Amino acid sequence: MRGVRGQGGARWLSAAVTAAVAVVVGGASGCVRDEAMAGMGLPRLSADEQVAGDAVPFQGTLEIGPQGCLMVRLTDPAGDTADRWTAWPSGSEAVYGSAEEGNGAKVDRETFMGGDAVSGTGRLVPLSALPGGISPGSYFEGSGRYCDALVGGVLVIDEVAHA
């Protein structure tokens, strides 16, 4: 009896270790976004991801939302002035500042932080327009819901500059 129990315990431990490794490796694979900003990274489209809609000029201020998400408080276009979750262009990088500065993004060697006035072009879309935006468990669906994109929508940034 004792040998059977010992083997069962070893099998259980082996299965538990294998499952833990699978979770860690599986969680790491396929993740193309930075992992520290509000626990989710800087949301950005990959080079082959597209979002339908016409690009429009925008102006606003980058804000760090209550959940730690990088948002833009639009002042233009008129009628679309909600705080919107931001999806950044391919090649953008997360920038991590001090607790006072908050986090931001680097696009084409230019750094944008919370509080910065910005202008550019982008698409004002609902979360459902993003790749996987309505697929439970996808990056954009989970992060977008967390960052209130169901309420304010998303600004998919094509081009951005300091205003």
Domains held by the chain: number: 2
6 or 151: which leads in pLDDT: 151
This prediction's pTM = 0.75
Asked if 84 and 61 sit in the same domain, the reply is yes
Q: Sheet holding 110-113: strands in order across?
A: 93-96, 103-107, 110-113
Asked if 121 and 146 sit in the same domain, the reply is yes
- The sign one gets for the Cα dihedral 122, 124, 129, 130 is positive
pLDDT one-digit tens code per residue, 74-109 = 999 977 777 999 999 999 999 988 766 678 999 999
- Of 65, 20, 57, give the one whose Cα is nearest residue 157: 57
Asked if 54 and 12 sit in the same domain, the reply is no
Asked if 153 and 93 sit in the same domain, the reply is yes
Range of the domain at 16: 1-30
Q: What is the mean pLDDT of residues 117-141?
A: 96
Mean pLDDT lowest among 8-12, 63-67, 79-83, 152-156: 8-12
Is residue 122 scored above 90 in pLDDT? yes
> What proportion of the chain, given as a percentage, has pLDDT over 70?
74
